[in-house]
A and B are shown apart, each in its own frame.
Chain A
C-alpha cells in the first residue's frame, strides 16, 4: 500500500527546534517530488517546503533559513528540521507525495498534484 506516516510533532517553546519525519511505503521518496504542507488552525493550506527528486529544494519565504527539508533514501524517509520556531509556525504539518502526468491540452505541458497525503503531525509553538 502506498502511504506516508508523519511523526515528531508536539508542543515546543518559542525559539525551540523540532524535526518531523515522514516514513514512506509503497514508493521511493528519492524518485518523487515530496512536500510538507501545513495548515494553521482555521486556515488554508500552505506549501512550506518541497524536495525535488533531483535534490533541489523550495522553501516558502517565512521559513527560509529556519527549516530544512531532507531525505534518507536508505530509510525511505523525508524530514523537516524546524529551528527557531515561532508562534505562527503552529499548524498541522502534512507530508505528501506529488505525482506528474501528461497534460491533455495543447501545447504540451505536465500537470502535478498530490496523490498521497499523510494524516498530519501537529506542531504547537507556545509563547
Chain B
C-alpha cells in the first residue's frame, strides 16, 4: 500500500508569511494527490486535486506542485482563516484511500 509522509507535523507562522508543506509518497503515484484543509470541529475541505489543480472557489494564494514523489502545498501570504490542519491524500483502485499524517499550522 502507498504511504504518504507529511512534514512538518506542526508549523508556527504569522499572518503574511509564505508557508510550505510537503507530502512524500512511498512510490510513484503520477500526479494523483489531493490536499485538504480542516478547521477545528469541521469536516475537511478540498483545496487542490491532481497535485496542482485549484478547486473552484479556493483562494489563489493556495497552490500545489510536485517533483517526482514529493508534493508541496504552498500558501502565499497566510491569512487568519488559514490557521488549520492540512492533509494530503491519495487513492487508486490498487491501493487504499490514504491520508498523510497532517500538518497543523499555528499562529
Q: Is the CB of A60 closer than 8 A to any CB of chain B? A: yes
A107 vs B50: C-alpha distance when bound (angstroms) = 14
Write the B86-103 contact mask toward A (1 if CB under 8 angstroms, else 0): 010101110011111110
B30 and A103 contact, CB distance less than 8 A: yes
Residue of A nearest to B89 (CB): A113
Report B50 CB to chain A, min CB distance, Å.
5
* Contacting residues, chain B, for A58 (C-beta < 8 A): 96-97
Q: Contacts A104-B53, A119-B43 known; A98 to B91 CB distance under 8 Å?
A: yes
Q: Nearest-CB distance from A42 to chain B (Å)? A: 10
Please tell me if the beta carbons of B31 and A103 are within 8 angstroms of each other in the complex: yes
Given known A101-B50, A104-B50, contact A111–B43 (CB-CB < 8 A): no
Say whether B31 contacts A114, CB under 8 Å: no
Contacts of B46 in A (CB 8 A): 113-115
**Chain B residues touching A, range:** 20 to 34
- Mark out the residues of chain A between 36 and 56 whose CB falls within 8 Å of any chain B CB in the assembled complex: 37, 44-47, 50, 52
Q: Let me know if B44 is at the binding interface, CB within 8 A.
A: yes
- Beyond A50-B96, A98-B91, A104-B31, whether A113 also contacts B49 by CB under 8 A is yes
B25 at the interface (CB under 8 A from A): no
- Asked if A21 is an interface residue, CB under 8 A from chain B, the answer is no
Task: Please measure, in the bound complex, the distance between the C-alpha atom of A105 and the C-alpha atom of B30, giving whole angstroms.
Answer: 7
Is A77 positioned at the interface, with any CB of B under 8 Å from its CB? Answer: no
A107 to B43, CA, bound (A): 33
Given A45-B87, A114-B36, A115-B46: 14 more A-B contacts, CB < 8 Å: A44-B102, A45-B102, A50-B96, A52-B93, A104-B53, A105-B30, A107-B30, A109-B92, A110-B92, A111-B31, A111-B34, A111-B50, A112-B32, A113-B91
* B interface list, Cβ under 8 A from A: 30-34, 36, 38, 43-46, 49-50, 53, 87, 89, 91-93, 96-102
Instruction: Write 9 A-B pairs (CB below 8 A) sorted by A numbering.
Output: A50-B97, A94-B43, A105-B30, A107-B30, A111-B34, A111-B49, A113-B46, A113-B49, A117-B44
Chain A residues packing against B (C-beta within 8 Å): 35, 37, 44-47, 50, 52, 58, 60, 94, 98, 101, 103-105, 107, 109-115, 117-120
